[in-house]
Amino acid sequence: MIEVALFGAGRIGKIHAGNLTKQAGVRLKYVVDVHAESAQALAQLHGAAAGSVEAALADPAIKAVVIASSTDTHSDLILRAAAAGKAIFCEKPVDLTIERARACAAAVEEAGVLCMIGFQRRFDPTFSALKERILAGEIGSPEMLVVTSRDPSPPPVSYIKVSGGVFKDMLIHDFDVFRWILDDEAVSVYATGSCLVDPAIGAAGDLDSTVVTIRTRLGRLCQINTTRRAAYGYDQRFEVLGSAGMLQAGNHKPTEVVSHTAANVSEDKPENFFLERYRVAYANEIAHFFDALANGTALRTTVQDGLKALELAEAAMLSWRENRIVMLEGSRS
Ligand SMILES: NC(=O)c1ccc[n+]([C@@H]2O[C@H](COP(=O)([O-])OP(=O)(O)OC[C@H]3O[C@@H](n4cnc5c(N)ncnc54)[C@H](O)[C@@H]3O)[C@@H](O)[C@H]2O)c1
Which amino acid residue places its CA nearest to atom 32 of ligand 1? 33
Identify whether residues 126 and 209 lie together within a single domain: yes
pLDDT at residue 196, rounded to an integer? 98
Q: What is the mean pLDDT of residues 111-140?
A: 98
The answer to whether the CB of 34 is under 6 A from ligand 1 is: yes
C-alpha 134 – ligand 1 centre gap (Å): 34
The answer to whether the CB of 306 is under 6 A from ligand 1 is: no
Identify whether residues 109 and 143 lie together within a single domain: no
Of 83, 113, 143, the last residue of a domain is: 113
Identify whether residues 7 and 51 lie together within a single domain: yes
Nearest-angstrom CA–CA distance, 108 and 117: 12
Identify whether residues 125 and 260 lie together within a single domain: yes
Q: In what order do the strands lie in the sheet with 142-150?
A: 245-249, 235-242, 142-150, 221-227, 209-216, 186-194, 326-327
Residue 330 pLDDT > 70: no
C-alpha 274 – ligand 1 centre gap (Å): 14
Identify whether residues 316 and 178 lie together within a single domain: yes
pLDDT at residue 229, rounded to an integer? 98
Which atom of ligand 1 is closest in space to residue 72's alpha carbon? 41
pLDDT at residue 329, rounded to an integer? 77
The answer to whether the CB of 7 is under 6 A from ligand 1 is: yes
User: Phi, psi at residue 237, to the nearest 5°?
Assistant: -140, 155
Q: Give pLDDT tens digits for 223-257.
A: 999 999 999 999 999 999 999 999 999 999 999 99
Identify whether residues 269 and 135 lie together within a single domain: yes
Q: Give pLDDT tens digits for 76-87.
A: 999 999 999 999
For a ligand 1 pocket test, name from 7, 12, 310 the mutation site with the most ligand atoms within 8 angstroms of its C-beta: 12
C-alpha 275 – ligand 1 centre gap (Å): 13
81: number of CA atoms within 13 Å, CB side? 31
Q: What is the mean pLDDT of residues 108-115?
A: 98
The answer to whether the CB of 69 is under 6 A from ligand 1 is: yes
225 beta partners: 148, 211
Identify whether residues 101 and 142 lie together within a single domain: no
**CA-based nearest residue to 6, from 55, 59, 64:** 64
Q: At what angle do helices 11-20 and 36-45 cross, to 10 degrees?
A: 20
For a ligand 1 pocket test, name from 11, 19, 33, 70 the mutation site with the most ligand atoms within 8 angstroms of its C-beta: 70
pLDDT at residue 41, rounded to an integer? 98
Identify whether residues 66 and 130 lie together within a single domain: no
Q: Check if the beta carbon of residue 282 is closer than 8 Å to that of residue 15.
A: yes
The answer to whether the CB of 321 is under 6 A from ligand 1 is: no
The answer to whether the CB of 52 is under 6 A from ligand 1 is: no
pLDDT at residue 230, rounded to an integer? 97
The answer to whether the CB of 73 is under 6 A from ligand 1 is: yes
pLDDT at residue 278, rounded to an integer? 97
Which amino acid residue places its CA nearest to atom 5 of ligand 1? 12
Of 113, 141, 176, the last residue of a domain is: 113
C-alpha 76 – ligand 1 centre gap (Å): 14
Which atom of ligand 1 is closest in space to residue 163's alpha carbon? 43
pLDDT at residue 331, rounded to an integer? 54
With respect to residue 333, please indicate whether it lies within any of the assigned structural domains.
no
Nearest-angstrom CA–CA distance, 65 and 53: 10
Q: Give pLDDT tens digits for 26-52.
A: 999 999 999 999 999 999 999 999 999
**CA-based nearest residue to 169, from 271, 72, 75:** 72
The answer to whether the CB of 8 is under 6 A from ligand 1 is: yes
pLDDT at residue 333, rounded to an integer? 41
C-alpha 33 – ligand 1 centre gap (Å): 10
Q: What is the mean pLDDT of residues 288-309?
A: 97
pLDDT band (50, 70, 90) for residue 326: very high
The terminus-to-terminus CA distance of the chain in angstroms comes to 52
C-alpha 89 – ligand 1 centre gap (Å): 13
Q: Give pLDDT tens digits for 313-324.
A: 999 999 999 999
Identify whether residues 99 and 206 lie together within a single domain: no
| CATH number of the domain where residue 181 is located | 3.30.360.10
What percent of the chain stands above pLDDT 70?
99
Q: What is the mean pLDDT of residues 199-217?
A: 97
Q: pTM for the complete prediction? A: 0.96
Domain carrying residue 36:
2-113
Identify whether residues 191 and 309 lie together within a single domain: yes
Number of structural domains the chain divides into: 2
Nearest-angstrom CA–CA distance, 241 and 23: 37
| CATH number of the domain where residue 37 is located | 3.40.50.720
The answer to whether the CB of 75 is under 6 A from ligand 1 is: no
pLDDT at residue 297, rounded to an integer? 94
